[in-house]
Amino acid sequence: MSSDRPPQQSLPLPVIIIGLALMVAGVLAARYVLSPHLASSPPADLKATYLQDGKPITGFHLLDYNRQPFDASHFKGKWTFLFFGYTNCPDVCPTTLLVMKSVWAKLPAEAKTEPSPQLVFVSVDPDRDSPEKLKKYVTFYRPDFIGVTGKADQIDILTNQVGVLYGFDDDPDGKGYTVKHSAQIILVDPNGKMRAVFSPPHKVEDIVHSFVEIRNYYKG
């Protein structure tokens, strides 16, 4: 009994080899192209704590030094470096602002393209730091640095979300209190999520390097 089915023909060996080679090449190419998206861990040499999933920051309402509202919407489309302090701070705040001024000077051009970075100094001492005073203080370091402050409860909404602590020391003589405060620099991504924490002591080169790495990694 004869079959109607055409006789089966096996593929020539060279075709099979070429096909397999193309499949392997395709898989390798896909892995190469997609790897940044699939990478499960950030660059190993970061001098910062990276938050893989990010942490949304919401619900605070402050004023910038031009007395314009500053809220979470101002994080959108920018990389934001947040630092918390006060203008009567003799050592830590001026030094950190100088470090960030140097970071700005040393950032490679591609790290300043959109989404560009912004530095926001948050005064936790609104009783002494009016927006006007804050403006003169912050822009002394760089004209494009931003200063914000506001009511204590609004400042607390922000500090609580980013894990920053602060407190006022006793002032028994009435000569002026000092403020203890976290000295971390918080990096917020262009989608408004807390993305990394730089811990003191702050070094210019470490921040520049880590920011560039984080930007590239986040961008994929």
Partner 1 sequence: MKYINAALLFAGLVFQSSLTFAAGKVQVHDAWIPEAPPVAKVMAAYMTIENTGSKPITITGISCDAFGMVMMHKTVTENGMSRMIHLDNLTVAPKSKAVFKRGGMHVMLMDPKHSFKVGDKVSLTLVTADKIKIPFTAVVKPATLGND
Residues 206 and 195: beta-carbon distance below 8 Å: no
Give the span between the Cα atoms of 103 and 192, in whole angstroms: 21
Does 151 interact with partner 1 (rule: CB under 8 A)? no
Which residue lies nearer to partner 1 by CB, 186 or 215? 186
Residues 97 and 121: beta-carbon distance below 8 Å: yes
Does 175 interact with partner 1 (rule: CB under 8 A)? yes
In Å, the largest CA–CA distance within the chain is 114
The 10 Å Cβ neighbour count of residue 55 is 15
- Minimum gap (Å) between residue 105 Cβ and partner 1: 10
Does 136 interact with partner 1 (rule: CB under 8 A)? yes
Provide the phi-psi class of 41: left if phi over 0, else alpha when psi is between -120 and 50, else beta.
beta
Question: Which one of 67, 76, 112, 180 is in contact with partner 1 (CB under 8 A)?
Answer: 180
Does 141 interact with partner 1 (rule: CB under 8 A)? yes
- Beta-strand ranges (E) seen in 124-174 are 146-149, 166-168
Does 204 interact with partner 1 (rule: CB under 8 A)? yes
- Minimum gap (Å) between residue 191 Cβ and partner 1: 25
Give the span between the Cα atoms of 147 and 83, in whole angstroms: 10
Which residue lies nearer to partner 1 by CB, 99 or 119? 99
**What residue ranges bind partner 1 (CB under 8 A)?**
87-92, 94-95, 98-99, 102, 128, 133, 136-138, 140-141, 165, 169, 175-176, 178, 180-184, 199-201, 204
